[in-house]
Structures are given as structure tokens and as C-alpha cells.
């Protein structure tokens, strides 16, 4: 695979999920990455050690106290040779460290700063996490907790695209730029199918169409997604024409058998599986509250 970011140097101050996922993706594209963590390290290493190890395995990891002059000098030396800085800290906290955009741009005029915040713009300093962003976007189904960190992961992908946009702009103008990514804004975008009525109960993708939904199979469940007309015509012919007929048919085999059948007959059908658990996270971790560090997610 080509490495379009070969030669690009990324420095990250971002801990937890969105920043590390974004930086790992930039490294996938060929960049060289250095992560500067606070003395206590990245909380993700305690919460999900296997995932942390996966995300950081190709990075240089340094622990610096940025309130100490020596730590700050070491970071400045890194930024002098960097193309991109990724942060996931509220702007007010960055400003207290002297990393507000005007000062950063003056010191490192070619640096692209990708700033991951809760909300882009005036509400960037309002605290939040993935759960609150999903709640505000209307994509939760209480009382169940979300199965994934949708806002964080969407924010990571957006941080990658904004970084690429910043690098492209620098090629055109010769100057670095600030690229702000709001996790709450990403959650709002993920909520568009709900707001547009596509996934609400009884809608096309919310159970109203027999060719798109979850069905019980022998010992589990399967997901049928015969949305396009040619897929639905095949599914209708082989499985049934409505919810009741399809349910009766799918009840006769195991999910794995139906998944193999779907591949054989070119029908979009998959077994519903539980995610594989990280062995490093089999025991519960006591989450430590770190009020002194003002991270967004």
C-alpha cells in the first residue's frame, strides 16, 4: 500500500480515544508519530491496555511535564521539526500552557494544529465525553449504554481528514493552519439518519421493511440487509415476502449457516456476533478521576 504521508512528522498531546486513534491512522498513511503524554501517562492504558498497546505500537512515546521549563523546551524542539500537532485539550487549558493558536502559529508558522474539542467554535471549552455528545445528538436508547464510542471514533476520522486538509492548504499557501474538530458536531452528524426519519421505529431502516432487519435464527440472530431491489428480489424469492415468512425461514438454521448461505446466494446476510473481548480487560478497572487534566474525551 502506498504511503502518502511518508516524511510527515506528527506530534500528539492527545490522550484517551479520539487523538490516539487519529494518530494511529495517520501513521497507517505513512506519517512518523511521537506522542507526548503527561507524567501519569494516558488513561487509556489503564482502561483498555490491549487497545492502547495496539494504537501506540509504532509511536515514540514520551512523558513530559509541560509545566516544567525543561519539558516545555523538549516539546518545543519536537514541534520545530514537526508538520502536525494533534491535541484533545480544551483551548483554555492550552492557552494556559502558551499553546493558544496565535502564539503557536507565531512560533511554528508551518505547523498544522488539529485541535479535537467538545464543540467547535464558542463552546469549545464546555466539558463533555462521548456519552454526553451522543445524548445531545439523540442517538442513545436509554437505559442501555452505547455499544461503541461513536462520537470519539467519528471524531478521530474527522481529525484525520482535517489534518489532511491542513497539509494540503500548507502546500498551497506555505502556512500552517488551525483545524478544529468538534466531537459533539460529529455526534450530531451521526444522528442525521434519525432526524431524517430513516431509522426511527417502523421506518425503512427501523423495522418497516422486511428485507432490512434482525431476525432470530437457531441459537442466535442474523442481520438481513437486502436493501437494493436486486438483493430484495433474491431474498424475497428464497426467504419469503414479508416479516413473518422470513422469520419462519431463518429460524431453521444457525447464524453461521445462514451467513455461509448468504455468501453462496449473494444475499447480504450476516451472523450477529458479540465482540471479542480483550483478555487484558477481563477484570474491572477502577477508574481514577483526574480533575487536573482537562481533556475533552
Report the pLDDT averaged over residues 155-178.
Answer: 98
Looking at the 3D structure of the chain, how many domains does it have? Answer: 2
Domain interval for residue 234? 204-271
Same-domain status, 46 and 180: yes
C-alpha cell at 164: 489532511
CATH number of the domain that residue 256 is part of: 3.30.1540.10
Closest by CA position to 94, among listed 59, 66, 54, 65: 66
Same-domain status, 114 and 138: yes
Q: Is residue 2 part of a domain?
A: no
Same-domain status, 117 and 45: yes
pLDDT over 50 (residue 269): yes
Residue 49 near residue 42 (C-beta atoms within 8 A): no
In 201-233, which positions are buried (b, 16+ CB within 10 angstroms) versus exposed (e)? eeeeebeebbbbbebebeeeebbbbbeeeebbe
* pLDDT at residue number 283: 52
Same-domain status, 34 and 177: yes
Report the pLDDT averaged over residues 102-125.
Answer: 95
C-alpha cell at 186: 460529529
Same-domain status, 184 and 225: no
Q: Is residue 211 part of a domain?
A: yes
Under the banding of pLDDT at 50, 70 and 90, the label for residue 276 is confident
pLDDT over 80 (residue 193): yes
- Better pLDDT: 277 or 188: 188
Residue 104 near residue 75 (C-beta atoms within 8 A): no
* pLDDT at residue number 290: 42
Amino acid at each position: 500500500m502506498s504511503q502518502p504521508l511518508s516524511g510527515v512528522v506528527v506530534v500528539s498531546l492527545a490522550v484517551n480515544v479520539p487523538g490516539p486513534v487519529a494518530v494511529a491512522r495517520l501513521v497507517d498513511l505513512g506519517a512518523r508519530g511521537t506522542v507526548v503524554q503527561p507524567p501519569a501517562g494516558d488513561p487509556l492504558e489503564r482502561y483498555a491496555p490491549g487497545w492502547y498497546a495496539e494504537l501506540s505500537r509504532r509511536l515514540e512515546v514520551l512523558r513530559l511535564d509541560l509545566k516544567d521549563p525543561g519539558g516545555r523546551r523538549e516539546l518545543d524542539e519536537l514541534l520545530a521539526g514537526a508538520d502536525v500537532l494533534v491535541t484533545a485539550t480544551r483551548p483554555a487549558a492550552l492557552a494556559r500552557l502558551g499553546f493558544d493558536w496565535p502564539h503557536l502559529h507565531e512560533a511554528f508558522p508551518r505547523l498544522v494544529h488539529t485541535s479535537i474539542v467538545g464543540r467547535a467554535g464558542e463552546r469549545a471549552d464546555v466539558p463533555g465525553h462521548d456519552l454526553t455528545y451522543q445524548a445531545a445528538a439523540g442517538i442513545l436508547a436509554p437505559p442501555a449504554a452505547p455499544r461503541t464510542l461513536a462520537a470519539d471514533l467519528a471524531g478521530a476520522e474527522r481529525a484525520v481528514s482535517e489534518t489532511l486538509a491542513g497539509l494540503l492548504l500548507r502546500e498551497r499557501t506555505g502556512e500552517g493552519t488551525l483545524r478544529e474538530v468538534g466531537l459533539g458536531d460529529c455526534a450530531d452528524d451521526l444522528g442525521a439518519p434519525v432526524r431524517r426519519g430513516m431509522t426511527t421505529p417502523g421506518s425503512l431502516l427501523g423495522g418497516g421493511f422486511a428485507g432490512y432487519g434482525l431476525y432470530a435464527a437457531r441459537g442466535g440472530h442474523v442481520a438481513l440487509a437486502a436493501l437494493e431491489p436486486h438483493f430484495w428480489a433474491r431474498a424475497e424469492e428464497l426467504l419469503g415476502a414479508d416479516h413473518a415468512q422470513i422469520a419462519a425461514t431463518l429460524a431453521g438454521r444457525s447464524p453461521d449457516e445462514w451467513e455461509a448461505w448468504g455468501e453462496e446466494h449473494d444475499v447480504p446476510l450476516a451472523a450477529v456476533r458479540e465482540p471479542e473481548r480483550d483478555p487484558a480487560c477481563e477484570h474491572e478497572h477502577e477508574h481514577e478521576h483526574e480533575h487536573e487534566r482537562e481533556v475533552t474525551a
